[in-house]
Structures are given as structure tokens and as C-alpha cells.
């Protein structure tokens, strides 16, 4: 966490984005696995994991939606300086950042089209705790089943029912990162 909008970026962008991407790839390809990702610091309340993920994946071509407490002038300026992405409403966002409740209602985000299901939003969800435990996950990337504490189950089940359309999620907490692609089946326990 820091306050100066000009600091908090990568000191070695090529290498730090590469290692950050590998953490994101591993998290999304293996739902339930928790990865460490760090290197960037954005103004409060954005976690280091979320700030790093934004630097790894976003640029002027990817409109971002900031939800709730994440929509502050400092964070907008930090994104303008380090990323250059336009800040937009949920409907036009490629990426969104916020807590689970602030991001809702989630049906406002793009879920892709039948011809282009990749044109769907990726939601970066800031969480209080990120632990293995909670909902049971199965599907691509999971050998048998995995566990991850999720803020909801009904919505993820409805999201899976849209497959191959749907939203993709990253969950961040401090420097920890987990992924939940649209292909994962979620079961409450």
C-alpha cells in the first residue's frame, strides 16, 4: 500500500510481468490452487496481488471498471499513470476490480457472444481471506476435486451453466491469488 501515484510499478517490467503471468496462468489453469503474486503496490485499498495482476494484464486496450471502495481518485490516477487503461461502466469493461458485493449485480458484465465467447469480462475480486476450504470445485484443471472459499455458490453455478459464455474470476488477498474460470463446477458443502 502506498499513496504516491507515481510509485508502486514494476522495477523490472519484463521479468516481473512474466513471473506474475505464470502465477495467474497457474491459478486459472488449476482452480483451487493458491499462488503468490506480488511486485506492484497501488493506493489503498487495492491489494498487492490485484495491483500486480492489473499491471501484468491491462494496458490502454483494456477498459477497467472500478467498483465501490476501489473507485478513488488516487487509484484512477495510479491506473492512468502505470497502465493507461480507460475507466468505464461495468457493461464495457474487460476487467473489473472490487470486492464481491461492490461488483454486483454481476450480470452487468460482458459474458461474450456465442461466436466469440472470449469477449467476456475478467473480474478481480478482493477478498478478506483466501483459503483452501469451502466450496468443492471440479472440472478442467482439477484432477479429482479441489476446495476454495468463495463468496457465493449460486452465481458461480449459474455462470457455469452459461458455458462456453460466462465470466472468469481471480480472487486476491494480500499477495495471494486464486482463479475460477467459467468452466469450473462449484458445489456448496
**Nearer Cβ to another protein, position 38 or 142?**
142
Question: CB 115 → another protein: shortest distance, Å?
Answer: 5
User: What is the bridge-based pairing of β-strands 146-148 and 168-173?
Assistant: unpaired
Question: CB 99 → another protein: shortest distance, Å?
Answer: 22
Question: CB 171 → another protein: shortest distance, Å?
Answer: 15
Own/partner pairs, 80-86, CB within 8 angstroms, 24+ separation: 81/5, 81/6, 82/8, 82/9, 82/40, 82/55, 83/54, 83/55, 83/58, 83/59, 84/59, 84/60, 85/58, 85/59, 85/60, 85/61, 86/60
Whether 127 contacts 151, CB under 8 Å:
yes
**Residue 22: other Cβ atoms inside 10 A:** 13
* Residues at the interface with another protein (CB under 8 A): 13-15, 17-19, 21-22, 24-26, 28-30, 56-59, 61-62, 113-118, 120, 122, 139-143, 163-164, 168, 181-183
**Nearer Cβ to another protein, position 44 or 62?**
62
**Nearer Cβ to another protein, position 58 or 70?**
58
The three-point CA angle 46-147-123 to 5° equals 35
**Nearer Cβ to another protein, position 26 or 72?**
26
**Nearer Cβ to another protein, position 116 or 154?**
116
Question: CB 6 → another protein: shortest distance, Å?
Answer: 19
Question: CB 100 → another protein: shortest distance, Å?
Answer: 19
Residue carrying the nine cell digits 465467447: 117
Amino acid at each position: 500500500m502506498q499513496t504516491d501515484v507515481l510509485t508502486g510499478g514494476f522495477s523490472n517490467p519484463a521479468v516481473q510481468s512474466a513471473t506474475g503471468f505464470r502465477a495467474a496462468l497457474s491459478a486459472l489453469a488449476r482452480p483451487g490452487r493458491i499462488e503468490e503474486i506480488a511486485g506492484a503496490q497501488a493506493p489503498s485499498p487495492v491489494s498487492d496481488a490485484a495491483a500486480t495482476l492489473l499491471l501484468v494484464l491491462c494496458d490502454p486496450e483494456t477498459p477497467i471498471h472500478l467498483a465501490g471502495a476501489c473507485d478513488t481518485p488516487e487509484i484512477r490516477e495510479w491506473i492512468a499513470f502505470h497502465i493507461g487503461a480507460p475507466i468505464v461502466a461495468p457493461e464495457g469493461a474487460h476487467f473489473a476490480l472490487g470486492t464481491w458485493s461492490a461488483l454486483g449485480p454481476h450480470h452487468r458484465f460482458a459474458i461474450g457472444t456465442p461466436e466469440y465467447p472470449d469477449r467476456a469480462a475478467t473480474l478481480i475480486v478482493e477478498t478478506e481471506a483466501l483459503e483452501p476450504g469451502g466450496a468443492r470445485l471440479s472440472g478442467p484443471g482439477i484432477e479429482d476435486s479441489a476446495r476454495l472459499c468463495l463468496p457465493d455458490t449460486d452465481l458461480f453455478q449459474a455462470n457455469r451453466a452459461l458455458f462456453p459464455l460466462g465470466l472468469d474470476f481471480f480472487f486476491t488477498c494480500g499477495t495471494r491469488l486464486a482463479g475460477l474460470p467459467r468452466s469450473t463446477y462449484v458445489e456448496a458443502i
